[in-house]
């Protein structure tokens, strides 16, 4: 892995002590998930920290790898946060709903068009749609309605009961908070010695239209600028900050003076494998 920097300082590297098989794995299939990039992220975690913050929650791969007992998990999507809260509070209700479900085109569109008003059932439907839609993409239209089409699943298995129970146990730690908040509000009380991991939607200045995703609202270039400013404020008060983002000059310029680590990964968003190439991403590190 190549480490690139805007100054001469070395990025501290922590030896990975855990095996990925020993920790809970995300219960959602999520575009932009960091599950496959943990080997890139974990060397830049501080050896110790107080409270963990993850404001763009998504699938929560880094949270589940760390399983901190003190954490604030948040996202601007009320639907997503509701699902996480049900996983914490009623895992058996989720398991009961999914137990006999299989990928089925007709069932997929039936659920997509008429969602339940019961909180647990709604969360279980969310997981079913997530597991059977195209590439695990979460996208809503201008009315806030999920509109991703049915996708070809590699397996008939929807339910992994032990995974859901393991995730629930991690979320039931007394110091773990799950809340529906904007990223600025969610980290407002972070203090020296805490760790904040920002994994925002990848929007660059030259492509300022953003996209509707799990945040349900447009994440624009102005939001990227605001995020970088928030990261600087946190770092200035002694908070450990790690950010993942697209490897683009626009983004690099926002984090001038921070440590920047570039790497490539395979893209999976194209519907055809022949159009799936290598894409550049960066990890931005401050306060470590």
Q: For 249-279, how does the pLDDT look when each residue is reduced to its tens digit (9 = 90+)?
A: 999 999 999 999 999 876 555 444 454 567 8
User: Considering only CA atoms, which of 173, 162, 186 is closest in space to residue 88?
Assistant: 173
What's the distance, Cα to Cα, between the start and end of the chain in Å?
18
CB 204 within 8 A of CB 246: yes
What pLDDT, on a 0 to 100 scale, did the predictor assign at position 9? 38
Compute the distance between CA of residue 244 and CA of residue 275 in angstroms, rounded to an integer: 23
State the DSSP string of 198-231.
E------GGGTT----TTSS---HHHHHHHHHHH
| Distance between CA atoms of residues 6 and 254, nearest Å | 12
- Please list, in sequence order, all residues whose beta carbon lies within 8 angstroms of the beta carbon of residue 24, skipping any fewer than 6 positions away: 64, 67, 163, 166, 167, 169, 170
Rounded CA gap, 48 and 39, in Å?
18
Q: What is the value of pTM for the model shown?
A: 0.87
pLDDT of 82-139, one tens digit each? 999 999 999 999 999 999 999 999 999 999 999 999 999 999 999 999 999 998 888 8
Domain boundaries, the chain: 2-286
* 2-286 carries CATH number 3.40.35.10: no
Q: What digits encode the pLDDT tens for the residues 217-255? A: 568 899 999 999 999 999 999 999 999 999 999 999 999
**How far is it, in rounded angstroms, from Cα 3 to Cα 263?**
9
What confidence score (pLDDT) does residue 205 get? 76
> Residue 192, Cβ neighbours under 10 Å: how many?
11
CA distance 112 to 150: 10
CB 91 within 8 A of CB 97: no
The predicted pLDDT at position 218 comes to 66
Residues in the chain: 288
Beta partners for residue 19, in sequence order: none
């Amino acid at each position: 892995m190549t480490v690139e920097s805007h100054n001469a300082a070395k990025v501290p590297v922590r030896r990975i002590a855990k095996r990925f098989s020993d920790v809970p794995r995300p219960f959602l299939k999520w575009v932009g998930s960091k599950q496959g990039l943990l080997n890139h992220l974990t060397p830049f975690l501080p050896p110790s920290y107080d409270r963990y913050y993850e404001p763009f929650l998504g699938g929560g791969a880094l949270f589940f790898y760390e399983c901190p007992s003190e954490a604030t998990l948040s996202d601007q999507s009320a639907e997503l946060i509701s699902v996480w809260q049900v996983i914490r509070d009623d895992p058996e209700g989720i398991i009961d709903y999914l137990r006999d479900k299989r990928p089925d085109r007709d069932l997929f569109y039936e659920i997509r068009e008429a969602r339940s008003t019961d909180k647990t059932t709604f969360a279980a439907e969310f997981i079913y749609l997530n597991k059977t839609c195209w590439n695990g993409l979460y996208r809503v239209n201008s009315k806030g309605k999920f509109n991703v089409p049915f996708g070809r699943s590699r397996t008939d298995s929807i339910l992994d009961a032990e995974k859901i129970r393991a995730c629930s146990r991690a979320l039931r730690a007394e110091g773990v908070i799950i809340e529906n908040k904007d990223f600025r509000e969610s980290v407002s009380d972070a203090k020296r010695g805490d760790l904040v991991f920002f994994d925002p939607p990848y929007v660059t200045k030259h492509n300022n239209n953003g996209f509707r995703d799990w945040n349900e609202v447009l994440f624009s270039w102005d939001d990227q600028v605001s995020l970088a400013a928030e990261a600087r404020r946190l770092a200035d008060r002694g908070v450990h900050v790690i950010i993942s983002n697209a490897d683009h000059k626009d983004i690099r310029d926002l984090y001038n003076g921070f440590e920047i680590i570039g790497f490539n990964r395979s893209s999976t968003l194209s519907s055809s494998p022949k159009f799936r190439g290598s894409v550049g991403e960066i990890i931005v590190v401050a306060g470590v």
